[in-house]
Amino acid sequence: MHYDLIIRNGICVLPWGEARTDIGVRGGRIASLSVSMADEADEVIDAAGLHVLPGLIDPHVHLRDPGNAAVESIPTGTRAAALGGVTTVFDMPNTAPSITDGDMLRWKQEYASRESWVDFAMYVGATRGNTPRLGEYEQFDGVCAVKVFAGSSTGDLMIEDDEGIRQVLEHGHRRVAFHSEDEYRLQARRKLLTEGMSYESHPFWRDEECAFLGTRRIVGLARRARRPVHILHTSTAEELDWLAGHRDIATVEVLVNHLTQVAPDCYETLGALAVMNPPIRDRRHYEASWEAVRSGMVDTIGSDHAPHSLEAKAKPWPATPAGLTGVQTLVPVMLDHVNAGRLSLGRMVDLMAAGPARVYGLQAKGRIAMGYDADFTLVDMAAKRRITNDWIATPAGWTPFDGMAVTGWPMATIVRGQAVMREDTILGAPVGRLACFAP
């Protein structure tokens, strides 16, 4: 039998467990999980000593395009994703201008299909003006979900009131993703702040009740509308405990930062480079996040990659913009957690491949199985490396994990049977296509 690509000698993480098997790829899809030694291919990758994972997904990135290419863009951000072992990204709509109408969706479809190094999906932003058309927009090719900013946004990408959220939930039928901080509490607590306060005041302003109140309100409205919702970057013990009683209507994302960094230490060592929304919180919430991962409460893990220039981040708090780089470091940091025994490799794959596919209705991705897209992340679980700023492809040029020693590293990124990264080197030309979702 002849294939386009054969991956031999790797330990493959299949839906039913790990197995040593050789994978055959034809036409960009998985054609065999039992390739024989007699079979041939145009390209053979020897994965001896490596684990072959289904292509890992970052379902939460801000590639800032259109916007400021000196900070980030679709070409640079997806290049960073490929270097980090990520085969598909889901890009947020709060750009300049925002992705909130058919013209901007079509522009982004064409641009990403031409310039993305990995497969690509986009959120459409909900506004008061476009709410009646959200059912139409969520069906555009490559749209993963409607995104609602119920707190912490600017311009028309803010729907903070119950009636506005209710109307969004009544237009369309697919799962809606929420930034769920409560804007009313945010604004009330903003009056307590003064310029030049320490960066560790950030979680004081955006406190636990701010997040918990937003999540309670949104899930209550979702239940009344009978519309499934996805709570993005869940960050508090209170939310995670409460959401356990609402799994029929709400799925849960946790960010890698909330599983890795702890306040107040992070603010003391990183200053503005630890400021993100929702904030990095204290050890009680860190431990609750890990317990939620272990118990199955968490459905997806993302980076919330949201770069700003170092010049902008240098502003004193609270003027410093919230947001950190992360798409390129997501996989190495999570592999290090696996090696530290905090979760199994199988659970990591569930959270970063099968989970996003399940939550968003992503088709033909998220698992190594016959007929699925031939997306693979090949990792060396024993590789010892150090994350450094000079490895970062994002033009902003920094990572909050600079200097972090990790065990486990992505060695190859394969998108629909095409290797786009091997051993820290980008290969060929952009090959990304729009991801496909259930209607």
Low-confidence ranges of the chain (pLDDT < 70): 154-155
Residue 385, both tokens: 């490396």
Q: Give the single-character DSSP code of 265.
A: H
Query: What's the sign of the alpha-carbon dihedral 141, 147, 152, 155?
Result: positive
CA neighbor of 125 nearest in space, from 84, 170, 159, 166: 159
CA neighbor of 153 nearest in space, from 93, 194, 202, 201: 93
For residue 132, what are the contacts with CB-CB under 8 A and spacing of at least 6? 171
CA neighbor of 147 nearest in space, from 139, 159, 132: 159
Instruction: Mark out the alpha helices in 157-264 (DSSP H runs).
Output: 162-169, 183-190, 202-205, 208-225, 237-243
Neighbours of 439 (CB within 10 A): 9
Residue 120, both tokens: 């690509």
Q: Which of 304, 336, 350, 373 is catalytic?
A: 304
CATH number belonging to domain 2-52+373-382+404-426: 2.30.40.10
At residue 255, the pLDDT reads 98
For residue 347, what are the contacts with CB-CB under 8 A and spacing of at least 6? 293, 294
Please give the full DSSP string across 110-170, using - where no structure is assigned.
Answer: HHHHHH-SSEEEEEEE--TTTGGGHHHHTTSTTEEEEEEESSS--TT----SHHHHHHHHT
In order of 36, 113, 253, 326, the CA distances from 175 in angstroms are 42, 24, 13, 24
Residue with tokens 């009740």: 209
Q: How many helices (H) and strands (E) does the chain have?
A: 14, 19
CA neighbor of 123 nearest in space, from 401, 282, 356, 375: 356
Instruction: Mark out the alpha helices in 33-83 (DSSP H runs).
Output: 74-83
CB 15 within 8 A of CB 368: yes
- The residue extents of the domains of the chain are 2-52+373-382+404-426, 56-360
Query: What's the sign of the alpha-carbon dihedral 341, 12, 16, 435?
Result: positive
CB 325 within 8 A of CB 396: yes
CB 124 within 8 A of CB 437: no
Q: Has 22 been annotated as catalytic?
A: no
Q: Which CATH superfamily is domain 56-360 in?
A: Metal-dependent hydrolases (3.20.20.140)
At residue 76, the pLDDT reads 98
At residue 151, the pLDDT reads 86
At residue 196, the pLDDT reads 85
